[in-house]
Structure 1
Amino acid sequence: MTTTELCTPAPTHAIGEEAADAVATTLKALADPFRLRMLSAIATDPRGEACVCDLAELADVSQPTVSHHLKKLKDTGLLASERRGTWVYYSILPSRKQAVTALLDAFAPAAITEAATEQEDRAAALEALNAKVEHLAAELADEMDHLNRDLVVTIVRESFAGLVRSAKLTGHMVPLTERFARQRLADITRDREAGKPQVLFVCVANAGRSQLAAALVNQLSGGDIVARSAGSTPASEVHPHVRSILADIEGEQDASAAFPKPLTDDAVRAADVVVTMGCGDVCPIIPGVQYQDWAVGDPALASEEGVAAIRDDIEARVRTLIESLATR
């Protein structure tokens, strides 16, 4: 089509504005699971109608609540009502029976089938994942034969359970479980007298401040200090603002491998210093462990300039911490 040709609209049969308003009002009234169940119960009742007393049995609700929802459906023109003695009976208006039947027949089976299929897929995926985790546990137990086998298997299972609550179910779950389990086993077997000083940074999500602080300690100490990080309620992934900074500190490959981890007693016991990142987390109190709280900003809530300022603030605190550990 050239620029001089005019666009000729194709014939259309779209509903008008008034009809669209009426349909939208009806659909809005139906956008409630209990109302849909009542409508279905009325439509499928062999008598062609249902009493308020019958519909109250669909859910643990009072009869006034049932009457309220039925009134909403009646106001949209879907239902007719008739009082007989102390009860009111509801039926589908003859002019709406075909539309109601089409709605329920078209959407309900598809929704049920789709939900059942998704549930089956999730169950199958989780079962396959559990099998891989059990295989990983056996491999690590064979590798670490100097440790109690039951301990290694338990740590692997607990590590997977802790991560799967928040992390996304992806093909990376098994490698993440292995890294977390190895870290926990190293913490459990740490020799305080001969080992390097160890610091644990804790925040809520372990997706920002604590990840950044641990990376800075590992970089600025030249590996002379071991830094861990954890969260009381870990997020599913590291915040994008922080991941880009981690890439500058650790390199793209290490930054992409960073993941939020749940807080464990093992990590606290293994630490010489536990630093909470101004988020009010309560860590287990272990004798011999020094506790600090750093009131620093949250990168997830900051602008690009704000994130840079938070990074500089954490770096200054980290340098002070490294100096104090060096003198100890």
Structure 2
Amino acid sequence: MTTLNAALEVDNCTPTAEHAMGVDAAASVANTLKALAEPLRLRMLSAIATDPRGESCVCDLAELANVSQPTVSHHLKVLKDSGLLASERRGTWVWYRILPSRKNAVTALLESFAPATLLESEEDAEARAEALRTMDARVTRLADELANELTDMSRDLVVAIVRESYAGLVRSAKLTQHMVPLTERFARQRLADLARTRESAVPQVLFVCVANAGRSQLAAALLNKLSAGTVIARSAGSTPAADVHPSVRKLLAEIEAPELADAAFPKPLTDDAVRAADVVITMGCGDVCPIISGVRYEDWAVGDPALASEAGTAAIRDDIATRVQTLLTSLT
């Protein structure tokens, strides 16, 4: 009986090989999974997948981790070679997007395996979507108002800059009632950068750090204070934070008028800001700045206030002040 049962079990055995994934398909899937088996690549992929523009610039991805530009390029190349991404060079930057044929797969992957604590609730998602719709209408009105005001510039250009400025800020900044005023300030700054010529009598300096929430904010405030209008200082971040670091905002209030300190906000790095500058000072993210002919570049190894104690933050401010004074002397 035992022998008969054993024979029946063999006869009824399911031919597993016939139902298995084909060799070529398995090799393709394995190659994709291998490409994704690295935390930074997954973060890059999720950043591209959730970008409201539908694509991300390499400058947006470079500061997801403290690695060199060649390392960033290597990881992006692995994702591209695996068939997940497509790329396109525009001017000084390369833009990446998920291939249309892979969007559903990438979305399913990220949503299925992302930690539950990081997933937005349905109620939160609906509230944010409604806030974005309301904000979008206000940004459209702002674009029309600025286009009517700045009649010496192309209307299409003004509208495009306003929309791009809003998109750049909404990706990182908190979605608040102040978003439209911040968009207006950022757009006006960018439009002024576009209109500026290199022959301008007033030198312009751009300070760039990762989050634009500490070092670059302090440097710009100090240079504007010390130069008394003889130099224009601005700041930006390769991966801007949602807000200026509290300890830095306190120092800003000591350097400039309190209302100016309260109005400070992180801004994304743009090509037009780099082109408008006579000097670009990087503070920990030199790899992500586009190289523009005629622009002088320096890199300052300065501590990060976000990681420092109160005394350490004050020491960083003093270090920056010394460097700013030397820079000011060279410019004036």
Identify whether the pair has TM-score above 0.5, normalized to the shorter chain.
yes
The residue aligned with 2:324 is 318
The residue aligned with 1:228 is 234
Residues in 2 aligned to 1:248 and 1:281: alpha-carbon distance in whole angstroms: 32
Residues in 1 aligned to 2:127 and 2:327: alpha-carbon distance in whole angstroms: 48
- The percent of aligned pairs where both chains have the same amino acid is 72
Matches within 5 A, 1:179-194: 179-194=185-200
3-state SS of paired residue (1:308): helix
Q: CA deviation at 1:280?
A: 4.0
- Aligned mate of 1:204, from 210, 219, 229: 210
Answering whether residue 141 of structure 2 is matched by residue 130 of structure 1, we say no
- Verify the 8 A CA contact 1:167 1:237 in the aligned structure 2: yes
Q: Which runs of 5+ in 1 are unaligned?
A: 1-113
- Aligned mate of 1:217, from 219, 223, 229: 223
Question: What is the one-letter code of the residue matched to 1:181?
Answer: A
Q: CA deviation at 1:252?
A: 1.2
Answering whether residue 186 of structure 2 is matched by residue 177 of structure 1, we say no
Question: What is the one-letter code of the residue matched to 1:147?
Answer: M
The residue aligned with 1:262 is 268
Residues 36-86 of structure 1 show CA distances to partners (whole Å, capped at 9, x for unaligned) of xxxxxxxxxxxxxxxxxxxxxxxxxxxxxxxxxxxxxxxxxxxxxxxxxxx
> In the superposition, relative to structure 1, how do residues 278 and 120 fare at CA in structure 2: closer, same or farther (>3 Å)?
closer
- Verify the 8 A CA contact 1:202 1:281 in the aligned structure 2: no
Relative contact order: is structure 1 or structure 2 higher (C-alpha 8 Å, sep ≥ 6)?
2
- Verify the 8 A CA contact 2:169 2:268 in the aligned structure 1: yes
- How high is the TM-score relative to the length of structure 2? 0.63
Residues in 1 aligned to 2:201 and 2:271: alpha-carbon distance in whole angstroms: 19
- Aligned mate of 2:171, from 155, 165, 186: 165
The residue aligned with 1:141 is 147
Residues in 2 aligned to 1:191 and 1:273: alpha-carbon distance in whole angstroms: 14
- Verify the 8 A CA contact 2:238 2:285 in the aligned structure 1: no
Q: CA deviation at 1:164?
A: 0.2
- Aligned mate of 1:302, from 297, 300, 308: 308
Residues in 2 aligned to 1:235 and 1:281: alpha-carbon distance in whole angstroms: 18
Residues in 1 aligned to 2:237 and 2:139: alpha-carbon distance in whole angstroms: 22
3-state SS of paired residue (1:199): strand
Q: Which runs of 5+ in 2 are unaligned?
A: 1-119
Residues in 2 aligned to 1:281 and 1:223: alpha-carbon distance in whole angstroms: 30
Residues in 2 aligned to 1:293 and 1:279: alpha-carbon distance in whole angstroms: 9
- Verify the 8 A CA contact 1:203 1:281 in the aligned structure 2: no
- Verify the 8 A CA contact 2:210 2:284 in the aligned structure 1: no
Residues in 2 aligned to 1:279 and 1:287: alpha-carbon distance in whole angstroms: 19
- Verify the 8 A CA contact 2:165 2:186 in the aligned structure 1: yes
Residues in 1 aligned to 2:163 and 2:179: alpha-carbon distance in whole angstroms: 12
> In the superposition, relative to structure 1, how do residues 122 and 249 fare at CA in structure 2: closer, same or farther (>3 Å)?
same
The residue aligned with 1:274 is 280
Which stretches of structure 1, 4 residues or longer, exceed 6 Å deviation after superposition? none
> In the superposition, relative to structure 1, how do residues 116 and 155 fare at CA in structure 2: closer, same or farther (>3 Å)?
same
Q: CA deviation at 1:123?
A: 1.3
Residues in 2 aligned to 1:218 and 1:144: alpha-carbon distance in whole angstroms: 26
The residue aligned with 1:27 is none
Q: Larger C-alpha radius of gyration, 1 or 2?
A: 1
